[in-house]
Amino acid sequence: MKIPILVVGLLASAPLLPAATRTVTTTDNNSPGDDGQTSFLEALREAQAGDTIAFNIPGDGPHIIVTPMGGYPFITADNLTIDGYTQPGASPNTNPILGGNNAVLKIVLDSSGTDTAPGELLQHRSTRLIFPGFGDTEDAILPVVGARNVTIRGLSFLSRYAKDETDDPNVYCVAFVNTDASGTTPIPATGGHVSGCWFGLHPDGQTLKGGRASVATFRSGSNPDYAYASGLVIGTDGDGVNDRAEFNIHAAMSLAIHLQVPDVKISGNYVNVLPDGNSFVDVNAVALAIGAVVNPDNPEPQTVEFLENANCRNVIIGTDGDGVADADERNIVANVSYSETMEFWREADRVVVAGNHFGVGVDGVTRSPVSTSEQPDFIRLSRTPSSVRIGPNGDGVSDDLEVNLIVGVKGDRFVAPGNGAAGDISEITYRRNVIIDCGFSALPFPGGETAIQNYYPEVVADVAQAKPVLTSLSGGILRGRFGAPNTANYGHSILDVYTIDPGALRNTTYFPALMVHPSRWLGSFPDNGAGDLDPDPNEFEFDLSAAGLTDATYLTVTATYSKESGAQNVGTSVSSPPANPIAARPTLFMTLTPGIDIRLWWAAPENAFQVEINGVVNDRLGWFPPGGETHFDGNNYLSIPYDPFTEQQFYRLRSL
């Protein structure tokens, strides 16, 4: 094809000239080169290593620069900076990540037009990407081809939805393309930084024109040692310098961030969250709009995703916890319309997800819309071994800022861990996260998918004790036990105590199994360390009387096993399932199915409480136990046949 030949020529023959600032002065990409004006197209054609493309277009703006037919030339110059904030009147965001985005953008790259022109391949207002890893069904607005350390900032990108076909290719706003000029030496587009941009969103903060993805990059070739665009930063780099100016907004994209790359940082992004931080893109409307393009005759909702990555390692999503700018490294991510919020569809080694808001705005209260066509899981790890840390690592640096707030994620899997045999596990660590109104059947994964007996022999000495057990809670004292670590692999352990999301506990989707979702974190305790009043190993007794709990507050405990002391880092630690829920005075739950039965259940240790029935609520002597209780994994329940002739019936729990 002609396009790869052109790439080789550009890479081989680009002259070395002193770095310069090339200032765009017109929105007209068709202006001739001798008219005293410089278009964006001309600036890109002339760009050399180390250059800056600046803007100084007359007028208040925003200035709409329509992408020429066939797209822009490949960006092949190393250390190039394209800076939309140089345009007079533009200014980067100054608010903290939880304060909304007040950036003023004046430069708009508009590839939303659907007009076409004939050519070897049908031309659109975007650049075709016929490279290993990409193909003739993929275009980009800004294609960075084999160029290192390219910075793109301060631009609004307007895109379009497509059919993902040769004549109607998908459009990425920015694509980092790894190429091979000689046939033997890979040239990766490493070190890219995309910051301070609004994708799919006009500078008015309301008008949406999304496309396939904001940022995309893929491995070039089938060899796993081939070129990757590693070192990519999407959002803030968290170096303490102008970090708030580096926040991105991704709106109405089919898949906001589409990667196949290691060593990437995704921090300081709003995804389907509008500039005020508490308003959201309607993912259901976007899904249907994409479907109407894919199949105009029979539109069906398509997917609206946050993140996919593959062949990845050393990935940070959110806060890196290094003590520098950690509060501003969060991502605020609306609920998606896809099978999972984050998908790692090959190996995923040392992935950190920390400090983010999922499904909720910057205020931590305002919820984003949920999909009407999908019930997304939280994370998919498609292959083992993989490793992911969700939440803090407990090293004492910014741990409070590394907590994820996860709201309204309705899928049944917190982590889908991938397939693996005994000894071939994905190391999943989750600590201190707040989970509200989610649908996960169990944490860290559903037991039926990766059975505990196959997963935890590497972690605990006795797999039958992989799940902690709470035995009593009275007078503010919580007692229980947990499995001893398999010291050949994990020599250290720490216990985390939580209150439980009450909505999850009332949910009967997986009855008789209970949904035990940690909510408020109450503290961490090493076995036989500070705060543990029980001197016996692997048994604990914690005084929580100062935590302000009511007798009806349910608690749970998780154990995290680590290869190192004093921290629970990704790839070196594994968390247990939550213990059975327990409260000093458990709640008696009831569901009524007219004509069939009354179902009663209460979360408590077996034989700790008993149901009693009475026909008169204030009859002290008429209470009697119906019997027939069944206990399952912390849940006690019984079924009483429905009797339509019984005028009234009262139920209570009595401690034994």
pLDDT in tens, 53-97: 999 999 999 999 999 999 999 999 999 999 999 999 999 999 999
Are the beta carbons of 623 and 633 closer than 8 angstroms?
no
Mean pLDDT of the 628-632 span: 93
459 or 448: which carries more pLDDT confidence?
Answer: 459
| Burial (CB count within 10 angstroms: exposed 0-12, middle 13-18, buried 19+), residue 474 | exposed
| Burial (CB count within 10 angstroms: exposed 0-12, middle 13-18, buried 19+), residue 122 | middle
382 or 156: which carries more pLDDT confidence?
Answer: 156
Mean pLDDT of the 511-537 span: 95
The rounded distance, in Å, linking the Cα atoms of 525 and 239 is 32
The rounded distance, in Å, linking the Cα atoms of 193 and 188 is 14
The rounded distance, in Å, linking the Cα atoms of 243 and 250 is 17
3-class DSSP assignment, residue 129: strand
Mean pLDDT of the 359-367 span: 98
Residue 16: band (very low, low, confident or very high) from pLDDT cuts 50, 70, 90 = low
Mean pLDDT of the 497-512 span: 95
Cα 123 off chain centre by: 35
Mean pLDDT of the 201-221 span: 95
Mean pLDDT of the 458-468 span: 93
Are the beta carbons of 53 and 40 closer than 8 angstroms?
yes
Mean pLDDT of the chain: 92
Pair of tokens at residue 234: 């999407």
pLDDT of 13 higher than 80 = no
Are the beta carbons of 31 and 44 closer than 8 angstroms?
no
All residues at 6 or more sequence positions from 222 whose CB lies less than 8 Å from its CB, including other chains: none
Q: What is the pLDDT of residue 424?
A: 58
Residue 14: band (very low, low, confident or very high) from pLDDT cuts 50, 70, 90 = very low
**What is the tens place of the pLDDT at every residue in 240-271?**
999 999 999 999 999 999 999 999 999 999 99
Q: What is the pLDDT of residue 9?
A: 30
The rounded distance, in Å, linking the Cα atoms of 517 and 443 is 8
Bridge pairing between strands 539-543 and 156-158: unpaired
The rounded distance, in Å, linking the Cα atoms of 422 and 338 is 30
User: Cis peptide leading into 537, omega within 30 of 0?
Assistant: no
pLDDT of 127 higher than 50 = yes
Q: What is the pLDDT of residue 173?
A: 98
The rounded distance, in Å, linking the Cα atoms of 396 and 570 is 15
Are the beta carbons of 39 and 26 closer than 8 angstroms?
yes
Which amino acid, 200?
G
Q: What is the pLDDT of residue 222?
A: 61
pTM above 0.85, yes or no: yes
Mean pLDDT of the 142-147 span: 96
**What is the tens place of the pLDDT at every residue in 568-602?**
999 999 999 999 999 999 999 998 888 888 999 99
Alpha-carbon distance values, 214 to 305, 353, 373 (Å): 11, 20, 23
Partners of 601 in beta bridges: 589, 637
User: Cis peptide leading into 468, omega within 30 of 0?
Assistant: no
Nearest C-alpha neighbor of 369 from the set 408, 327, 425: 408
Alpha-carbon distance values, 157 to 14, 80, 496, 656 (Å): 28, 19, 44, 66
% of the chain at pLDDT higher than 90: 82
pLDDT of 622 higher than 90 = no
Mean pLDDT of the 90-115 span: 98
Q: What is the pLDDT of residue 592?
A: 86
Q: What is the pLDDT of residue 510?
A: 94
Residue 122: band (very low, low, confident or very high) from pLDDT cuts 50, 70, 90 = very high
pLDDT of 620 higher than 60 = yes
Alpha-carbon distance values, 285 to 282, 303, 338, 418, 619 (Å): 5, 11, 14, 31, 57
% of the chain at pLDDT higher than 70: 94
Cα 475 off chain centre by: 39
Pair of tokens at residue 377: 């899981």
**What is the tens place of the pLDDT at every residue in 394-406?**
999 999 999 999 9
Alpha-carbon distance values, 142 to 79, 150, 151, 306 (Å): 15, 11, 11, 20
Q: For Cα atoms 163, 168, 174, give the angle at the middle one, nearest 5 degrees.
A: 90
Partners of 142 in beta bridges: 174
The torsion angles phi and psi of 102, rounded to 5 degrees, stand at -105, 20
Are the beta carbons of 546 and 483 closer than 8 angstroms?
no
**What is the tens place of the pLDDT at every residue in 309-341?**
988 899 999 999 999 999 999 999 999 999 999
| Burial (CB count within 10 angstroms: exposed 0-12, middle 13-18, buried 19+), residue 646 | exposed
Mean pLDDT of the 211-227 span: 82
Nearest C-alpha neighbor of 24 from the set 204, 127, 126, 154: 154
203 or 596: which carries more pLDDT confidence?
Answer: 203
Residue 184: band (very low, low, confident or very high) from pLDDT cuts 50, 70, 90 = low
Q: What is the pLDDT of residue 7?
A: 30
The torsion angles phi and psi of 452, rounded to 5 degrees, stand at -55, -40
The rounded distance, in Å, linking the Cα atoms of 432 and 444 is 13
The rounded distance, in Å, linking the Cα atoms of 89 and 100 is 20
Alpha-carbon distance values, 506 to 147, 406, 502 (Å): 54, 18, 6
